[in-house]
């Protein structure tokens, strides 16, 4: 389904996006909700409010996080030679300035999936221990504006320097054991140990493409690498020059890539100073995966290759598969990757870690109303920073509603969370970010962002507040 949408959406650049699929965890909107069972995934010092927590398999917590700096309208235009018809940006009807003026500095795509498979938590007055098994997938793409300018250039005068093309994808299973422990009246500490099983990993990095016009051809020199650990993948090499030419098939093999990570967290209740004030901080996913069966391909950094340019495409989009194949072939001709070193090596890859710091204040005369400020910073291909301000209403013991606004490195957004947690059950739905304008086929027209979560869990026993009595 994802590949089909990409083909329909971006046509002429689809070969560059085939691996697209930001990092997802539990909804940030839930950080200040004590009635939300999965809060320990954001800060291991947090614990579910009831002493027994059980996840409904595959329905406990599902989160999709997707964003892009471009949309369909960046690549499709009305044809000037055929009024009423649409054409791609590669059409000679569309001048380069019209196309490039509407493009951001880089076309960036992020998609993440986080799905709890199993979870069980047991605790008491001063401590809570949770086991969780989940599937995680994160994919990121960065395509600089200069790349599209070069694709559009044909044989225009001038030289081109294209930098920082990045495609990264990672999928793995995570088994975690998390413990939250209360120390004294004010301090709670948390520790999570995560054992990771890698499913697939790929990283394409082209640091630089130097293109120079020579007669009726381009002379192109590239500097880049491909690293991939995909169990059972059969890599296709061009028989003429042994360059990388894609993946031609799979033979299923049991993954042999293992890793480890930790989560650390703390919460301190400042009630002795200001009634209703709490501060907290956490770092999650501090670890790595040692990927087995790693294969590396790299360019010959001193080699200039002759390239005929990106041209002669079906700009009407009537033959999308052939257009994709042609662009893919052209890109492989321009950036030649050779297999380097020994095959099926083992390589350690550091995970993207997330740092959080929060402050919450509940009104002393109406403790069911609270305000929170959450700061988030995530490492990675492009570091991500966010400030989220929340207002939470908990008018009764089983109903929570949170509204929030955020300002981040990818723009501003609004969010909300509805959390129902009567005795025995917990249902939630949350949107951390929603920004999109769709066409009738529900394809984003411009830059968009979506972070959506929902889940259903079981929770039993008296609330911790009653255990303290």
Q: How many domains in the chain?
A: 1
pLDDT for 465: 59
Q: Half-sphere exposure of residue 32, counting CA atoms within 13 Å on the CB side? A: 33
Closest by Cα among 1, 220, 4 to 113: 1
pLDDT for 255: 72
Residues in the chain: 469
Provide the CA 366 distance to its chain's centre, in angstroms: 38
**Hey, what are 383's tokens?**
């570091």
**Bridge partner list, 185:** none
Distance CA 30, CA 38 (A): 8
Residues of the chain with pLDDT under 70: 1-26, 154-157, 240-241, 248-250, 252-253, 311-325, 341-342, 464-469
Domain that holds residue 433: 2-467
Reduced to 3 states, what is the DSSP secondary structure of residue 182? strand
Q: What spatial distance separates the first Cα and last Cα of the chain, rounded to whole Å?
A: 52
Over the range 142-176, which residues count as b (16 or more CB within 10 Å of their CB) and which as e?
A: bbbebbbbbbbbeeeeeebebebbbbbbbbbebeb
Q: What is the pTM of this model?
A: 0.86
Cα distances (angstroms) measured from residue 207 to each of 154, 204, 225, 300, 339: 22, 10, 9, 13, 18
pLDDT for 324: 60
Distance CA 88, CA 100 (A): 13
Q: What is the pLDDT of residues 218-264, one digit of tens each?
A: 888 889 998 988 887 777 777 766 777 777 666 766 778 999 999 99
CB 64 within 8 Å of CB 451 = yes
**Strands in 145-276 per DSSP E:** 160-183, 187-214, 217-229, 233-237, 244-250, 257-269
CB 142 within 8 Å of CB 381 = yes
CATH number, residue 206 = 2.40.160
């Amino acid at each position: 389904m994802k590949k089909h949408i990409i083909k329909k959406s971006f046509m002429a650049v689809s070969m560059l996006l085939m691996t697209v699929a930001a990092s997802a965890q539990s909804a940030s909107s839930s950080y200040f909700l004590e009635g939300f069972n999965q809060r320990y995934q954001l800060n291991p010092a947090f614990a579910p409010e009831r002493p027994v927590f059980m996840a409904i398999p595959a329905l406990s917590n599902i989160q999709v996080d997707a964003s892009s700096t471009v949309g369909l309208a960046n690549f499709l235009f009305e044809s000037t030679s055929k009024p009423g018809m649409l054409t791609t940006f590669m059409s000679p009807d569309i001048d380069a300035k019209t196309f490039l003026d509407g493009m951001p500095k880089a076309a960036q795509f992020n998609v993440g999936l986080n799905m709890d498979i199993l979870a069980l938590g047991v605790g008491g007055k001063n401590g809570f221990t949770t086991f969780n098994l989940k599937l995680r997938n994160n994919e990121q793409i960065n395509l600089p504006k200069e790349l599209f300018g070069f694709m559009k250039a044909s044989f225009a005068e001038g030289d081109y320097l294209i930098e920082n093309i990045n495609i990264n994808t990672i999928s793995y299973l995570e088994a975690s054991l998390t413990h939250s422990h209360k120390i004294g009246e004010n301090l709670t500490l948390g520790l999570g140990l995560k054992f990771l099983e890698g499913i697939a990993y790929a990283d394409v990095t082209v640091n630089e493409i130097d293109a120079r016009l020579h007669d009726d051809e381009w002379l192109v020199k590239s500097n880049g690498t491909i690293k991939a650990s995909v169990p059972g993948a059969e890599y296709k090499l061009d028989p003429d020059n042994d360059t990388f030419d894609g993946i031609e098939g799979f033979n299923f093999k049991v993954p042999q890539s293992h890793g480890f990570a930790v989560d650390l967290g703390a919460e301190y209740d400042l009630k002795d100073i200001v009634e209703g004030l709490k501060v907290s901080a956490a770092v999650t996913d501090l670890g790595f995966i040692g990927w087995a069966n790693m294969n590396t391909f790299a360019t010959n950094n001193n080699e200039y290759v002759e390239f005929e340019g990106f041209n002669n495409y079906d700009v009407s989009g009537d033959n999308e598969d052939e257009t994709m194949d042609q662009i893919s072939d052209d890109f492989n001709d321009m950036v030649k990757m050779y297999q380097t070193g020994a095959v099926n090596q083992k390589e350690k890859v550091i995970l993207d870690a997330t740092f959080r710091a929060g402050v919450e204040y509940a009104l002393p005369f109406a403790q069911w109303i609270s305000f929170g400020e959450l700061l988030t910073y995530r490492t990675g291909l492009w570091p991500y920073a966010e400030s989220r301000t929340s207002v939470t209403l908990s008018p009764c013991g089983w109903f929570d509603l949170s509204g929030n606004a955020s300002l981040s490195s990818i723009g501003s957004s609004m969010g909300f969370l509805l959390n129902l947690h009567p005795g025995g059950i917990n249902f939630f739905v949350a949107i951390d970010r929603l920004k999109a304008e769709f066409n009738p086929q529900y394809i984003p027209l411009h830059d968009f962002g979506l972070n959506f979560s929902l889940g259903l869990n079981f929770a039993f026993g008296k609330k911790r507040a009653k255990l303290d009595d």
